[in-house]
Structure 1
Amino acid sequence: MTSPLLSVIIPSWNRAGWICDAINSALLQGKPGSIEVVVIDDASSDNTAALLQQIYVEHIKAGQLIYRKLEQRKGCGYARNQGVALANGKFLAFLDSDDIWLPGKFAAELDIFTRFPQAQVVISDSLSFAEGKANQQSRFEFNGLKTACNSNECWLDECDWLWTNCENSIATCSMTLRRDLLPLLGLPLFADDLISCEDWELELKLYQYCRVRVKPVLLAHVRSFDDATRVERAAANKPRTLKQTQSLLQNRRTVMERTRLLPHLSKKLHQEFERMRKRTELQLDELASG
């Protein structure tokens, strides 16, 4: 059996109402056999398993959809790592179970990997939706990357973009990387001891150690719903609770404590990282005294 070009890893917990949208948007990215979808069910208590077995029975038989259910809930970082271990594709990408890719996403990325063999990672733009209502800005517009790259495809190290600011992160579903990067990045790929910021920690690795090509084109929709699946994070159109805010800041601090920026990076990137570190500590102190 020929290995797929792309493995799409989807962690899911009680998302039976949305996960088929994500799976379908992934399968439509290429010809049958070229796309492999790996679903890691994080111990869901809904009917996700039965639903997927019913709808995707042929895809499962053909090996185009791999489904594994964890016995205990471990979090999205752990689930993604389990998906990485099962993946067979030349390229890896990550898609949360309530998000969707737009048609042609992987074709656009594959074109870049073909034109630039030295490219190891491609990142692209996304648009967030809360309960179906779109944000006014895309992710690249919000985090300054669209301005930094002058709306043109380019190398990340050519952009004056402060990616060492955690609020400038991109959507996890907007990064695609070569699978042969895993030895360089180290395993597990995602931190499995965090319930947030695990994606930013991976970004910090990618941007420092890899050749990253920026594609400032909207290729994904990041959707959130108030469906009781975001226990640790704010639900759609709702502010974070005190506990959620504290958890986010603690995880952010953990990432910064164990990240050592490479010395050759620009002074601005180092300064922004230190500014975010001090700001995070101050916010945690304010909450504690509060």
Structure 2
Amino acid sequence: MNNQDCLVSVVITTYKRPLFILQRAIESVLKQTHTNLEIFVVDDQPEDRQRIRQIQETIHAYKDPRLSYIGLKEHGGACKARNVGIQHANGDFIAFLDDDDCWLPQKIEKQLEGFINEDIGMVYSPYINIADQSSEKVFIPCQKSGDLTQDLLWFNCIGGCSMTLIRSKILKICGVFDESLLSCQDYDLWMRIAQCSSIQFVPFVGIKKFDRRDSITNNIHATNQGFNIFIQKYQHLYQQFPNIYNYRLNLQGYRMIRMKSFKNAWLYYKRALHVKFFSRYNILWPFRGYYHLLKITIKKHLYSANA
């Protein structure tokens, strides 16, 4: 069967998102040029009966038989919601869309073209990052195809769930989202997919990602919990590449500095020194972190002086 004829399952997970934002996500899927879709809106807010009714009425109003509502019986988090969507999926391919992101009309069509052979388990694409109403920037991932295992050890060079399209049978081989992780859930799945299949880069910008302040990546506890479990899971790989391991620990320390969690930053820095004492990253990342804070401090003082 030609990939363009295949059924694609789309899982939209939602939790406490304003209805108009969820509608934006749903409508971006309904407008896809690839029309052979089944679309599941998985609601992770079972305690709000009024919101459940509003979402169900919204879905019903579209009058599109491809669109279905799934309500979780108890709050389980985004990965639980995605895994429930996977359980309901019948498609040859599966795509995930966060409720505050949206797709451009050719997203699925173009990504399906990336599955040029059966060895490819997932494709990924660049996206437009929108920080506020006046700031849009195209983010281009690592642009590599094939075995991305070593590339992913450096950092999540693929991006989030909304940027990918996955061959469904690959999830039966490498597993689904790890619900024990508070962060790095997508990163962890990408790493497992990379170890059991090829990954293909498709140079088509088809996703709009909207930054938000309540993101998991802004939660210190969640960020550290997910990172440390990820490192432990793939310790056998990191030990083969001490330079990458050192870089990864320094990068996490840099993120902690940016989040003003200096104690955690120091702990990661010490671990990085233990992995590889003589490394340029031991100087580069702490410098970049504190330089970032210095710039913010200077800007605040200048703003206060001019106010």
Give TM-score scaled by structure 1 length: 0.75
Name the aligned partner's letter for residue 134 of structure 1.
S
The alpha carbon displacement at 1:59 in A equals 6.0
Q: 1:276 aligns with which of 248, 261, 283?
A: 248
Aligned residue number for residue 81 of structure 1: 83
Match of 1:131 in 2: 132
Mapped pair 1:249 → 2:224: yes
Q: Secondary structure at the match of 1:9?
A: strand
Given candidates 28, 33, 41, the residue that maps to 2:31 is 28
Deviation at 1:101, TM superposition (A): 0.7
* Higher fraction of helix: 2
Provide the C-alpha distance between the structure 2 equivalents of 1:167 and 1:88, rounded to a whole number of angstroms.
28
2:265 and 2:246 map into 1 onto residues whose CA distance is: 21
Tell whether the 8 Å contact from 1:7 to 1:35 is kept in structure 2 after alignment.
Answer: yes
Which residue does 2:159 correspond to in 1? Answer: 170
Q: Return the match for 2:109 from 107, 110, 117.
A: 107
Letter in 1 for 2:178: A
Letter in 2 for 1:247: A
Separation in structure 2 between the aligned mates of residue 93 and residue 198 of structure 1, nearest angstrom? 15
Distance 1:25 1:262 in 2: 39
Compared with structure 1, are the counterparts of its residues 125 and 173 closer, same or farther at alpha carbon in structure 2 (3 Å cutoff)?
same
1:156 is matched with which residue?
146
Q: 1:204 aligns with which of 191, 195, 207?
A: 191
In the other structure, the counterpart of 2:57 is 54
Percent identity of equivalent pairs:
22
Ranges in structure 1 where 5+ consecutive residues have no aligned partner: 150-154, 235-239
* Aligned counterparts of 1:9 and 1:261: Cα–Cα separation in 2: 33
The one-letter code sitting in structure 2 at the alignment partner of 1:125 is P
Q: 1:281 to 1:225 in 2, by over 3 A?
A: closer
Cα distance in 2 for residues equivalent to 1:288 and 1:177: 35
CA distance in 2, matches of 1:225, 1:250: 20
Distance 1:192 1:40 in 2: 16
C-alpha spacing 1:98/1:82, structure 2 compared with 1 (3 Å):
same
Three-state SS of the structure 2 residue aligned to 1:95 is: strand
Is the contact made by 1:208 and 1:261 (CA closer than 8 Å) also made in structure 2?
A: no
Point out which structure has higher relative CO (alpha carbons under 8 A, 6+ apart): 1
Number of aligned positions between the proteins = 256
Alpha carbons 1:11, 1:41 under 8 Å: kept: yes
CA–CA distance in structure 1, aligned partners of residues 263 and 51 of structure 2: 41
- Give the counterpart letter for 1:13 in structure 2: Y
Alignment match, 1:152: none
- Whether the 8 Å contact between 1:127 and 1:134 is mirrored in structure 2 is no
Distance in structure 2 (CA, Å) of the matches to 1:134 and 1:164: 30
What do residues 47-97 of structure 1 show as CA deviations (whole Å, max 9, x unaligned)?
5433332233276772x1221112322111111111100111110111000
Whether the 8 Å contact between 2:181 and 2:225 is mirrored in structure 1 is: no
Q: Comparing 211-220 with 39-48, which one deviates more in the overlay?
A: 39-48
Contact 2:44 2:77 in 1 (8 A): yes
Determine helix, strand or coil for the equivalent of 1:184: helix
Does 2:276 match 1:286?
A: no
Match of 1:71 among 47, 70, 73: 73
Residue of structure 1 in register with 2:168 after alignment: 179
Greater Rg over alpha carbons, structure: 2
Equivalent residue runs for 1:183-198 within 5 Å: 183-186=172-175, 189-198=176-185
CA–CA distance in 2 between the matches of 1:209 and 1:104?
Answer: 28
Q: Is the 8 A contact 1:165 1:276 kept in 2?
A: yes
1:233 aligns with 2:216: yes
**C-alpha separation between the residues in 1 aligned to 2:34 and 2:206?**
18
> In the alignment, is the contact (CA less than 8 A) between 1:131 and 1:225 conserved in 2?
no
Residue by residue over 1:206-234, the C-alpha shift from the partner in whole angstroms, topping out at 9 and shown as x without a partner, is 222211111122110011345xxx3x636
Partners of 2:227 and 2:161 in 1: how far apart? Answer: 16
Specify the SS of the correspondent of 1:11.
strand
1:14 is displaced (CA, Å) by 1.1
